[in-house]
A = this chain, B = another copy of it.
Amino acid sequence: MARPRNAESDAAILAAASAVLGERGYDGLIVDEIARSVGVAKTTVYRRWPTKNHLVVSVLEDGEPDAAAADSGDDVRDLTSAVAALCSTLDPAPMRRLVAELAAASSRDPALRSEVDRLWARRRDAVAVVVERGVSAGTLSGDSALIVDQLVGAVYYRALITGETLDAEYSRGLVRAVVGPRDAEGTA
């Protein structure tokens, strides 16, 4: 497939939006200002991203590391790394705010919902791939989807609802609570 003609302006818009989100957060991102700063027409932005929230999802997707899960041979260690990576993505207050805004906006707008779902699924998959590997190998036991819900769910719950810290210590404790007592010895 040929490179789309507007790939360069898309990349410039994403870079500008990412910088503004980092500096001024969700409320500081104003689509018209992004267009002006990049030197494109507003319609160029809106043709590609119908709302500010669509643009935010693209910025977040663009910033996601590739979910190539580490395979150290120790599934509990790899799982702890994957959960810690999710925690460090979701911990900063501005990111909690972005996620809350996207959850609310996608509950209003089914078209945005499918975009946002892709982003959430990608983050879930980074943990799920390690869980599924462990369950297949017999180093973890239980229903993979439920294990992932317990891990990823606890992290989102803290990010969006309780507001508590999401640090490496929490990741370790959580993974130990979910898989440790049954399985950690088996892989030690």
Contact = CB atoms under 8 A, between A and B. Distances in A.
Nearest to A105: B104
A22 interface: no
Interface residues of A, number: 40
Contacts of A124: 162
Contacts of A147: 177
A163 B124 CA distance: 13
Given A101-B104, A156-B157, A160-B160, A143 B173 contact: yes
Contacts of A105: 104
Nearest to A173: B146
A99 B27 CA distance: 20
Contacts of A101: 104, 107
Contacts of A149: 154, 157-158, 174
B181 A141 contact: yes
